[in-house]
Structure 1
């Protein structure tokens, strides 16, 4: 049965620490719902009501557009090994782009000043509800490792190539919403 909490407990934090993947879901009232898988090495629990993750350059930029336009953001974790559980973090998301003071502070304070090549922003989620549910329908999977493809792609592009790529591909969402990357210099 689903249980609801006002904030993350120590048990919730321990569950997050054991996961290898999480999913973000975002939308606006007029846009498509976007769901993206992400590796948990990029996520940090900042406190009982706040998490953040480094967002790497990719072909889309829906989360940034939706956070800018509406702010609603959900993060979901599923136990693919061990005891079954699903946990969702509901709240409001904000994005902090590379090159901003807020990005630099978040990176320094919570990520050891480490930003893998291709990092375009840090997404901050202010949590207003934590919900857990049984997870009985989630299949069991064995974790093999992280894929090296995105890091290799970013290395091949180089910093200047990534900036140009974002200016070309990350300016607006699928539904034409601005992402905040339009002003990024090439």
Structure 2
């Protein structure tokens, strides 16, 4: 079972580190946004640097998305992304989009994303242009994640999981083979 305080801290920290320079982010600010104490952040994460490292880490997201054989990977990745969003009210990948600005910490988030997600997909692919196809796969998944994050009541959000998977996964799967 997920700890709601820990989840709120990570959500607030992702927002803070994506929008503010590292030096401007404080544990007190993250705590206020999360509705917890700064001491709880220290208890769970050990401090600002460790919290940032957790926010910048996409290892768990990659493991979840890549948890199927290549023959079903497109379907699995889409199902996992949409299901995770709906069950946890947060996205596995979209935080990298908010790290598009300048700053070493944002560059580190993008670097971790490339290393832990895009390159993990590339390592699974065979045939020509594996790096390009992996980049396009993650672009598809980021686009879907962004659509779900932006339009919380529109047709994508209202559609059943199976219809979203049926319509979206074939485009992702075509890039895998």
TM, length-normalised to structure 2: 0.26
* Higher strand proportion (structure 1 or 2): 1
* Higher helix proportion (structure 1 or 2): 2
